[in-house]
Structure 1
Amino acid sequence: MSNNRTYDVLTVGRSSIDLYSQNIGADFVDIKAFDAFVGGSPLNIATGCSRLGLRAALLTGVGDDKVGDFILKFLQDERVETAFIPRIPGARSSAVLLGIQPPDTFPLVFYRNNAADSQITMDHVNAIDLGQIRLLEVSGTALNVEPSRSAVFHAVERAKLQGTTTVLDIDFRADQWSDIRSFGIMVRALLPRIDMAIGTEEELLAAMLEDASQVTIEHQQISAPTVRGDIDQAIARVLALGVKVLVVKRGSKGVSVYDDAGNHEEVPGFPVVPLNILGAGDAFASGFIYGYLNGWDLYKSCRMGNASGAQVVLQPGCANFMPTLDESLAFIEQHGGF
């Protein structure tokens, strides 16, 4: 995999304006004001990668509206390539509202009807030379509807032909699926084409879901549902589908990393008291990708990811608070090193 390609990482999928409660600890009905940030897992990951010094690009869609202007300006200020982001006529840029009630309640509301980021197509993928991308990262949520579903499959297929590393962030958002069982069908269809997969225990269980009753969402915590199932069996089934590396995120406990040679390693996290857990997984992915693309081993790459995630959970937003390389290295040094 050449280091001389134009971009280190291209992420594909959601983008949004994120409105986060300014009233930390307040019930959602008592919120008086919101801060305007940006979000969406692929956007967060691209921003995190750029802040760490990687050449990052994003394929998403925004509306021909002021919210689209807001998202694009943020990305341009963050030096994330926006040349592959179309304005979608007649569609709206996505929006998210979030309540923040630490330590474990974060009600989330998506506004994604007629969402521009779901309107990216295979033609938008064809406009990108994937031979100039070192690593392609795609999001599971982009598989929920057409045409973004086909765009993701097409991008992964073309990337494999070009020798580009493919990464899937499983990214389960239950309310974005008309039948949540179809989430697993789509993820399982994509996994044989994926080199590395990243997900929480709940996301892995959702990828192997057999009955909708296995999923419970309390307090409208769309990003943190309870999913019942056998996690060891789910891990084994994902590996059997052909991924080379599987990273299982376990919050403050760190991550478990598996490879196709049968190796398994536990990588400790950096325990902190969270203010807002949303975005921690995306921060992890950006730190992990940074390490991987710099030739680090999986353990060290995961520690870098854990450090990124631990810093972001201390903040009231996602992309806006992704750490820089200097900040992450200092954080790691202050907490025992790699």
Structure 2
Amino acid sequence: MTDTRPSLITIGRSSIDLYSQDIGKPLPEVRTIGAYLGGSPLNIAVGAARLGVDAALVTAVGDDQVGDFILAGLEREGVRTAYIPRKPGARTSAVILAVQPPDRFPITFYRDNAADIQLSIDDIQAVPIEEARALVVNGTALSKEPGRSATLSACERAHAAGVPVYLDLDFRANQWHDVRAFGLNIRALLPNVDVVIGTEEEINAAMLTDPADITIRHDQMTAPEIRGDVAANTAALLARVSTVVVKEGERGCTVHRAGEEPLSVPGFPVEVLSVLGAGDAFAAGLITGRLRGWDWFRSARLGNACGAIVVTRIGCADFTPTQAEVDTFVEEKGGWACPTSPTLAR
């Protein structure tokens, strides 16, 4: 590593992801499990680093073997770890998943006494946020103290310094004591946010006020049904931030910017094996493009390509693509441009 400050700083949760290698079997029948890096901000940092961005992750790990695993993995990936404190008495998070294609991805979080939630304002004060070119935070970091205040502090400092703040909504219903609290905390953070990134369900969750509008068929499923008017909720968010990027799965995404027509950016058709990690790979690509000075269309296409590659694999950070892989993939799929969409949208 050089002595220069990181271009990208991501803040929030980290974990060891334990993914079944016995595809299609429910967890009681699984006999082989792979261990990978995980957690939305971690995944984004690794994804961006693989695309050539100098990235740093700000999280916290326990004084345990899982913490050792995460730090060693980040070092291998070239992600800066200088701002990751150990939290004695807390545990590094873990996630377990048994993939059951085509549409079942039951995931269990082990986040009781999670070390990353113990990230404090004092920890954030040691991070050179004002010298970064972009900051990424996620919604789950707002679910408990002291991580909530640490995240608020980071965004306040970044906003004051003119550093673009990206908020990945990352709604995990079972991490909140009340699902309405997610939206309340998100809306409180928005004055210090520039870009909101989320799925259509997460956009609805960000404006959720009635718990009757959410259906969680299984507490460990990653995508609860959240009813709402996506267009109206997007507009409500856009009244508070400059850009809202709505992830739309295989359709790609739509970039909404204040005072401009929505920019629809098509995805890349692939056969889906697992959707886990796709949104984080998308964010890594999108933000990397913006750091390169690309327009929103090309940046979002890079995000779509990264997400499309990851859904063909089992895993998150460890399976995000390099720039060479992306270039090959995009060339095979017909190139960066799309005949039905503009190529200039700054």
User: Which range, TM-score by smaller chain?
Assistant: over 0.9
Corresponding residue number in structure 1 for 2:296: 298
* Partner Cα separation in structure 2 for residue 165 and residue 279 of structure 1: 23
The residue type equivalent to 1:253 in the other structure is R
Corresponding residue number in structure 1 for 2:119: 120
Superposed, 1:1-338 pairs within 5 Å as 6-241=5-240, 243-338=241-336
Q: Give TM-score, length-normalised by structure 2.
A: 0.95
Cα distance per residue 1:302-327 (max 9 Å; x no partner): 00000000000111100000100111
The residue type equivalent to 2:278 in the other structure is A
* Residue 219 of structure 1, CA deviation: 4.3
Secondary structure of the residue that 2:184 maps to in structure 1?
A: helix
Would you say the 8 A contact 1:94–1:111 is kept in 2? yes
Would you say the 8 A contact 1:75–1:81 is kept in 2? yes
Would you say the 8 A contact 1:108–1:220 is kept in 2? no
Cα distance per residue 1:159-211 (max 9 Å; x no partner): 11222111000100000000010000000111121111100000000011122
Secondary structure of the residue that 2:268 maps to in structure 1?
A: coil
* Partner Cα separation in structure 1 for residue 262 and residue 47 of structure 2: 27
Would you say the 8 A contact 1:44–1:283 is kept in 2? yes
* Partner Cα separation in structure 2 for residue 127 and residue 287 of structure 1: 27
* Residue 221 of structure 1, CA deviation: 4.7
Secondary structure of the residue that 1:88 maps to in structure 2?
A: coil
Cα distance per residue 1:1-36 (max 9 Å; x no partner): xxx962110000000000001110112332222111
* Partner Cα separation in structure 2 for residue 28 and residue 70 of structure 1: 23
Secondary structure of the residue that 1:102 maps to in structure 2?
A: coil
* Residue 131 of structure 1, CA deviation: 2.1
Secondary structure of the residue that 2:244 maps to in structure 1?
A: strand
Structure 1 gap ranges (5+): none
The residue type equivalent to 1:199 in the other structure is G
* Partner Cα separation in structure 2 for residue 298 and residue 217 of structure 1: 34
Would you say the 8 A contact 2:174–2:219 is kept in 1? no
Would you say the 8 A contact 1:173–1:222 is kept in 2? no
The residue type equivalent to 2:273 in the other structure is L
* Residue 213 of structure 1, CA deviation: 2.2
Indicate the RMSD between aligned Cα atoms, in angstroms.
1.2
For residues 221 and 276 of structure 1, do their structure 2 counterparts lie closer, same or farther at Cα, with a shift above 3 Å needed? farther
The residue type equivalent to 1:264 in the other structure is P
* Residue 85 of structure 1, CA deviation: 0.3
Would you say the 8 A contact 1:103–1:273 is kept in 2? no
* Partner Cα separation in structure 2 for residue 35 and residue 311 of structure 1: 19
**4+ residue segments displaced more than 6 Å:** none
The residue type equivalent to 1:331 in the other structure is F
The residue type equivalent to 1:134 in the other structure is R
* Partner Cα separation in structure 1 for residue 4 and residue 215 of structure 2: 43
Structure 2 gap ranges (5+): 337-346
Secondary structure of the residue that 2:255 maps to in structure 1?
A: strand
